[in-house]
Amino acid sequence: MKLSTTLRHDIPASLVVFLVAVPLSLGIALASGAPIVAGLIAAIVGGVVAGALGGSVMQVSGPAAGLTVVLAETITTFGWAVTCAITVVAGALQVVLGLSRVARLALAISPAIVHGMLAGIGITIVLGQLHVVLGGSAQSSAVNNLLALPGQVIGHHPAATAIGLLTLAVLLVWPRLPAAVRKVPGPLVAIVLATTVASVFGMALPRVVLPGNLLDVALVPRLPSGGWFAFAVAAVTIALIASVESLLSAVAVDKLHTGPRSDLNRELIGQGAANMVSGALGGLPVTGVIVRSSTNVAAGAKTRASAILHGVWILVAAVLLAGLIEDIPLAALAGLLVYVGAKLVNLHDIRQVFKHGDLVVYIVTVLGVVTLDLLTGVLIGVGLSLAMMLRRMIWSGIHVEHDGDKWRVVIEGALTFLSVPRLSKVLATVPRGAEVSLQLVVDYLDYAAFESLSTWQQAHEDAGGTVEVEEIGHPWFARGKSAAPTVSRDATNRAVPHWLAPWSDWQAKDAIPVPRRSTALRRGAAEFQRRTAPLVRRKMSTLAKGQEPHTLFITCGDARIVPDLITASGPGDLFAVRNIGNLVPAERTDDSVGSAIEFAVGVLKVREVVVCGHSGCGAMKALLEGPPPGMPALEGWLRHARPSLARREASEEIVLDGGLPAAQADKLALHNVLQQLDHLRQYPIVAEAEARGELQLAGMYFDVGAAQVYLYDPPVSSFVRAGAESPQLAVELR
């Protein structure tokens, strides 16, 4: 790390984070029922050890509110010395997990569970610390705290209540003050003000107690005399919660800056090492903390030096300013914790969980954490999340649509044996002998569902009905009539989606006679009405007021050329002109093409004009070999392409992607594109717009067989594969 960066950015940022971390660390120790000094030890170790060894450059570690509930239960069960040993073991487990490179697996936990866990912890903290704010003591559980709260409110503890409410008031008002004022951390101001008021008025309140000499710390951990299973469960619980919170915090912090991304496995190793040291010195468990980390980024930190230095400042303050810290009333720290706990119930998170349909997982996790315990609540949330995931995986939407004499059975999702009863019930509603369209949009079709569909189809057709199967995606039921078993997924044998290929097998049958061609068109229109219209209606409603295309696209009338498809365009993007051979008559004798050009350039103000030729062009073949007999109109039209033929005879061949096309007609098609661009420039309205820099002309060629688009690149005088053009052309295209 550069010294100049540390001096200019990291030292100021570390001081800001230090001011935020001290009151929070003291408050979290208080809420956990641990010695107050344990919070400072964890903050120091988290800053120095996790900051130096972790994989997240900007993350700041220390004691976190997310572990207060489980830690309080652990201290009550085992005592402080054994809890420190549990912290050491939990840290060792984190190091093993980091070395195993499984850190990212923690991110598989549903956000609804994580947010629910934090909200449950927040509610538990608030219920407990409200008693301290009101001058009493927290009870043994969240439920007991809730039941005892009315009696605590009735009690009369004016001094503690005044200090706690003053702290809360400052914290609530601080974010609304001017930015210049908010440069000083709100928690620091609240604690300093509350402490000053308590000292000035001589209030007799319980205050922070620190050991006489913080540097004289003995090794605290002690192994239990029994109950090893409970000991192991506590260590695993703390390791998992600390790991998940640290990893999620690291990912969140990465979104706040543009520096190096977090190495999550290294971060887990760093957190584990910090917990081993913290537990050995008598400190609380350490995790990555989003509040301090986001403050670190906002304060301008650039390297991990900021996190390390913030730990150093806490050590200096604890040694040199212990007397000031011991003046802090516990009611002020409790007020800070009530504020922090309430912030853990995040309304934005609740809205996001609701949008994704996981609100029930969130609520169940919250209730489990508050009424039972943290581990049980999280496990219940995980179980419910897995159950909902399983339901969504096996869910299938099955319904019948009736249109006159025709029936449509639509099946979506995964169709398995679990859906067979409902499938049979729905299929039974289709009248015997009816004309049925069976539309399958399924992700998976197992043998039980396959057999049910196949048996029903056979029986329905034996009764005089018809069943036409249409599949979007993988053809799971393609051989359903023959009762062939479900085939495995094969990417080379997938049905083409309707929206991509309206000319594909779903619509047209090989044996359809000519008089029934209009039926295929009607089916396509019905398909658009049913599936596509709802998706594009919003866009089309905005286009109803007028069109603003960016491109005039002149191409051949060949049915294989779909301009929107090969340019990834949509409604309103292209003003398309199609004719035989993508021609632009130089002699202004064809008003249809000329008027389209004038309207597009002069009225619609398009920014580019593209002429697109293609391989296998019938017009180019007719130009070389002569048009079929008895087609005078075609012969007359092709006179506009004769300059292209002359151009090819008078100039060198045009290169296509480093080579030459094999067919003579394709070679001519390349010259034809360039010739039509020259014809375009003979239109005054085009020439003037191009001269003003308001219009770009571009040549394009589409290889039908390879489904490949090429653009003419003037600097290299050849057609190049789209995306591989020269820098100069790339700039022009942008």
Active site positions, annotated: 556, 558, 560, 614, 617
Q: Are 405 and 435 in contact (CB under 8 A)?
A: yes
Is 418 buried (19+), middle (13-18) or exposed (0-12) by CB count in 10 A?
Answer: middle
| Tokens of residue 485, six digits | 């078993």
Give, as one character, the DSSP assignment of residue 546.
-
Alpha-carbon gap, residue 541 to 537, rounded angstroms: 6
Give every CB contact of residue 586 below 8 A, 6+ residues apart in sequence: 640, 643, 679, 682
Is residue 438 classed as helix, strand or coil in its secondary structure? strand
**Burial classification of residue 92, based on how many CB atoms lie within 10 Å of its CB (0-12 exposed, 13-18 middle, 19 or more buried):** middle
Distance CA 10, CA 316 (A): 17
Q: Which two tokens stand for residue 352?
A: 């996001």
DSSP string, 645-683: HHHHHHSPPPEETTB--SSHHHHHHHHHHHHHHHHHTTS
What number of residues does the chain have? Answer: 734
For tokens 């030096």, name the residue. 305
* Contact present, 164 and 134 (Cβ < 8 Å): yes
Q: CA nearest 428: which of 456, 466, 462?
A: 456
Residue with tokens 């096309």: 661
Shortest CA distance to 420 belongs to which of 388, 381, 447?
447
- The tokens for 120 are 């449950």
Which residues lie closer than 8 Å to 314 by C-beta, 6 or more apart?
Answer: 18, 21, 22, 25, 40, 43, 44, 47
Cα 623 to Cα 258, 379, 434, 617: the distances in Å are 58, 75, 53, 10
Rounded Cα gap, residues 483 and 474, in angstroms? 17
> Which residue has tokens 């537990």?
279
DSSP state of 8: I
Look-up of token digits 């039209």? 637
Task: Tell me the H-state helices in 264-373.
Answer: 264-280, 290-298, 305-320, 322-325, 330-344, 347-355, 359-371
CA 497, 501, 505, 509 dihedral sign is positive
CB 526 within 8 A of CB 503: no
Place of tokens 């033929």: 645
The set of residues, in sequence order, having a beta carbon less than 8 Å from that of 487 and lying 6+ positions away, is 475, 476, 478, 479, 493
Q: How far apart are CA 336 and CA 130, in angstroms?
A: 10
CB 65 within 8 A of CB 342: no
Helices 11-32 and 68-78 meet at what angle, rounded to 10? 50
For residue 128, count CB atoms less than 10 angstroms from its CB and return exposed for 0-12, middle for 13-18, buried for 19 or more. buried
93 close to 281: Cβ distance less than 8 angstroms: no
Tokens standing for residue 508: 């047209």
Among 615, 625, 627, 613, which Cα is nearest to 673's?
Answer: 613
Contact 267, 59 (CB under 8 A): yes
Q: For residues 161 and 195, give the distance between their C-alpha atoms in angstroms, rounded to a whole number.
A: 13
